[in-house]
Structure 1
């Protein structure tokens, strides 16, 4: 049997660790429904994706007929010196929102994606991607109970994270476990693409308790790099979080993330402490 490090390297080398390939579908019709869905952009589909079809393995759609489509994906970050490095934001999560800006949560009963404990999540990542776990311990609060909250509240609401949608790599990893590892891999991947601290510093915006910055300048600096104005959140007038919004072409894992404007107004005052 392959060792964990060998397996992690093998999985990383695959063009898509998580998303099911047409060859893994049980029938030609399932492969066709995926092929039809995978090229569409969430919230902008030109051909409806049936929630009961395998198309929802390849497109972040509704979990059930009559439900809203979870087509907005948010990559979210904290700035908190007590939980992370002083020269970086830290990870909050990767969330599904409906296209109208409202959101689902704790969807296990509806999606069929089982909830996981923090200990289970930590053990899976340790086994299959230990370098990911090391990174999370620095930039993701190093708190398995928080990872548990994020997966159970948000990860269970993505149609493309269902077990049937994952590449079957048994006996090395089962499909349910692959979804868990893949979700956190994608969270970290998106975080690395969005270096908020560096982007702000390049615009002359750095932490300084003796001054404030204009909210519009913070928004413009981030939008210039991201491609859309993100949500900028404050706590008691102090910059505390940033949410980047995307539509996605294809599945959550390895999909093409397309920046869009925030659907949520900033909670910050016009002059922001940082």
Structure 2
């Protein structure tokens, strides 16, 4: 299900400097977003109702980095005229997904928390670019963070941003290379003069961690009486309603078969990824979980784990879905 586009929005592709069209809901809705920060829902699937109200999260860099952007400016994906300064307006990837894992077997991360997958810049039409700048595919992310004042961010990542096969560094490098290099507001030319090489990657990891900390998926489900179980199953409506009740917004849920393993929270962005304001919105797409019989197992490694299991990839599923 998709909404009808009542207006076409013009933004500029940071990779080509060419203007392109991006769908929005209406001129009135866009004006409200720009003036008040109200969230803009692209469509509402049958299993969910609109969010209870706008929610915004301002971030700041743990390393002290600051942009020159005004975070009260219009949110990404909601403009009605061309935007010239893509250092302060995320485009074309203005639909930002904070994605989280629930890895139960083999288990990763604390037993009472979901873990970070990443922050993905999708285009406003649900399409996306990846691996936008191979020259900035930095290695040794841990060293980069430690050397640039983000040791606390790194410590948090070691617990909450972990790879299912124990290859955390490779995982972090992948997320930066694949998604972070596609963010227009993190182009090196957008950084303060004299910034060290890799500073924009440090800002990326700072922001992902801070945003994740505002989205306690495990706690929200537990508050609604939904905790990991070896025997219980849930309907998609029950899980979705629980998260919307707690957060005010509807994420998308994805499964490996009938087992819940991924959640994505959606945002538009005012200003820069470095220190902008994330404006939360309802999911503009449906996930792949079945309507019922969904398992939410406890994290455990009972000796029957799959040591060579690949990381679940929502983008791989979506590539197939959108063909």
Give the structure-1-normalised TM-score.
0.78
Q: Which residue of 1 aligns with 2:116?
A: 91
Q: Which residue of 2 aligns with 1:72?
A: 95
Q: Distance in 2 between matches of 1:79 and 1:167?
A: 37
Report 1 or 2 for greater relative contact order, CA contacts < 8 Å, sequence distance ≥ 6: 2
Q: Which residue of 2 aligns with 1:125?
A: 145
**From 212, 233, 242, the counterpart of 1:212:** 233
Alignment of 1:251-266 (within 5 A): 251-266=272-287
Q: Distance in 2 between matches of 1:13 and 1:74?
A: 23
Q: Distance in 2 between matches of 1:99 and 1:80?
A: 29
Higher helix share: 1
Q: Distance in 1 between matches of 2:215 and 2:179?
A: 20
Q: Which residue of 2 aligns with 1:153?
A: 178
Deviation at 1:149, TM superposition (A): 0.6
**From 164, 167, 185, the counterpart of 2:189:** 164
Deviation at 1:224, TM superposition (A): 2.6
| CA RMSD across the alignment | 1.9
Q: Which residue of 1 aligns with 2:76?
A: 42
Maintained 8 Å contact 2:62/2:206: no
Q: Distance in 1 between matches of 2:108 and 2:66?
A: 30
Deviation at 1:183, TM superposition (A): 0.3
Alignment of 1:6-85 (within 5 A): 12=62, 14=64, 17-19=65-67, 21=68, 39-50=73-84, 55-61=85-91, 69-81=92-104, 82-85=107-110
The runs of 5 or more residues in structure 2 that have no matched partner are 1-60, 297-323
Q: Which residue of 1 aligns with 2:268?
A: 247
Deviation at 1:226, TM superposition (A): 3.1
> Cα 1:13–1:132, aligned 2, differ >3 Å: closer, same or farther?
closer
Question: Alignment length, in residue pairs?
Answer: 228
Q: Secondary structure at the match of 1:149?
A: helix
Give the structure-2-normalised TM-score.
0.67
Maintained 8 Å contact 1:124/1:181: yes
> Cα 1:13–1:114, aligned 2, differ >3 Å: closer, same or farther?
closer
Maintained 8 Å contact 2:138/2:198: no
Q: Distance in 2 between matches of 1:225 and 1:253?
A: 27
Deviation at 1:184, TM superposition (A): 0.1
